[in-house]
């Protein structure tokens, strides 16, 4: 299988990392819309327009599947992408909901959903989790986590002050959905804040779980062909790919 991975910027590389660890695909084409990043502060209409343009870009590659690594796009634009795509399109939100349902047997579990302003406003996780029988939900837009991670702040006093800012009214949860590709990079700090026993739902792991459940993978590809595209500054994407993916 030859797949496309779409993200608003570089964050989707955390999803590529999970895919590579499982050697599921022969060829991965990554597209990060770095010239218009971030999407999480933008309008539904704009996000849909950009997502449709990404599908058009991917048509150059005759893909078998498109994985939307960006939670914001997954929350708003999946139906519209499917309408224009020649291949199936799956997103990290639906995968994250199923991974949460698999991880939590107790339907009264308290689940904290974190995401960008757009993702949280969409209520995509809440609607999906309620359909799975969960009702004890807290949702919090934690938009500052994105620029903090992009400044490589993964711990320390700014992040701790930001946690207090966002979570002063938050009940300690049983599970935390890291509903943005940037958030796994501060998962240790989040666990230090809330305590180590929290179940963390990571978009990359969730998508692998979803794929293994829904597709047959008979062959393992140890050296998949990788192609990376960015709408600006491909050198920055190259540098981060090398660092995060060890390639």
Annotated binding-site ranges for substrate: 7-8, 39-40, 71-72, 181-182
Residue 148 in the binding site for a copy of itself (CB under 8 A): yes
Report in angstroms how near the CB of residue 75 gets to a copy of itself at its nearest.
Answer: 17
The residues pairing with 30 across neighbouring beta strands, listed in sequence order, are 5, 228
Rounded to an integer, what distance in angstroms lies between the CA atom of residue 109 and that of residue 120?
A: 19
Give counts: helices (H), strands (E), the chain. 12, 9
Angstrom CA distances, 8 to 69, 109, 135, stand at: 9, 31, 30
Q: Which of 70, 93, 176, 190 is catalytic?
A: 70
| Segment interacting with a copy of itself (CB under 8 A) among 42-50, 71-79, 194-202, 215-223 | 42-50
Q: Which is nearer to a copy of itself, 236 or 245 (CB)?
A: 236
The residues pairing with 89 across neighbouring beta strands, listed in sequence order, are 66
SS3 percent helix, strand, coil of the chain, rounded to 5, is 50, 20, 35
| Segment interacting with a copy of itself (CB under 8 A) among 105-113, 149-157, 167-175, 180-188 | 149-157
Rounded to an integer, what distance in angstroms lies between the CA atom of residue 63 and that of residue 4?
A: 7
Report in angstroms how near the CB of residue 60 gets to a copy of itself at its nearest.
Answer: 21
The sheet with strand 175-179 has its strands ordered as 137-141, 111-115, 175-179, 199-202
Window 194 to 233, contacts with a copy of itself (CB under 8 A): 232-233
The answer to whether the beta carbons of residues 125 and 96 sit under 8 Å apart is yes
Binding mask 228-247 for a copy of itself (x = CB under 8 A): ----xx--------------
Report in angstroms how near the CB of residue 161 gets to a copy of itself at its nearest.
Answer: 4
Residues that bind a copy of itself (CB under 8 A): 34-37, 41-43, 45-46, 143-144, 146-148, 150-151, 153, 156-158, 160-162, 164-165, 232-233
Q: Which residues are known catalytic residues? A: 70, 180
């Amino acid at each position: 299988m030859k797949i496309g991975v779409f993200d608003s910027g570089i964050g989707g590389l955390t999803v590529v990392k999970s895919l590579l660890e499982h050697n599921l695909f022969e060829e991965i084409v990554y597209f990060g819309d770095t010239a218009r990043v971030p999407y999480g502060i933008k309008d539904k209409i704009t996000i849909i327009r950009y997502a449709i343009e990404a599908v058009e870009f991917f048509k150059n590659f005759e893909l078998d599947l498109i994985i939307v690594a960006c939670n914001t796009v997954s929350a708003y634009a999946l139906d519209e992408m499917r309408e224009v795509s020649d291949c199936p399109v799956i997103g990290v939100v639906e995968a994250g909901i199923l991974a949460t349902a698999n991880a939590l047997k107790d339907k009264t579990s308290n689940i904290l959903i974190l995401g960008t302003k757009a993702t949280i406003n969409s209520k995509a996780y809440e609607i999906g989790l309620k359909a799975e029988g969960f009702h004890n939900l807290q949702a919090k837009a934690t938009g500052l986590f994105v620029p903090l991670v992009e400044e490589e702040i993964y711990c320390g006093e700014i992040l701790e002050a930001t946690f207090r800012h966002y979570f002063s009214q938050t009940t300690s949860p049983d599970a935390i959905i890291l509903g943005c590709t940037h958030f796994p990079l501060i998962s240790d700090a989040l666990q230090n804040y809330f305590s180590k026993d929290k179940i963390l739902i990571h978009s990359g792991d969730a998508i692998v779980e979803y794929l293994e459940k829904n597709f047959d993978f008979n062959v393992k590809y140890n050296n998949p062909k990788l192609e990376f595209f960015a709408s600006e500054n491909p050198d920055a994407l190259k540098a981060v790919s090398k660092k995060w993916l060890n390639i």
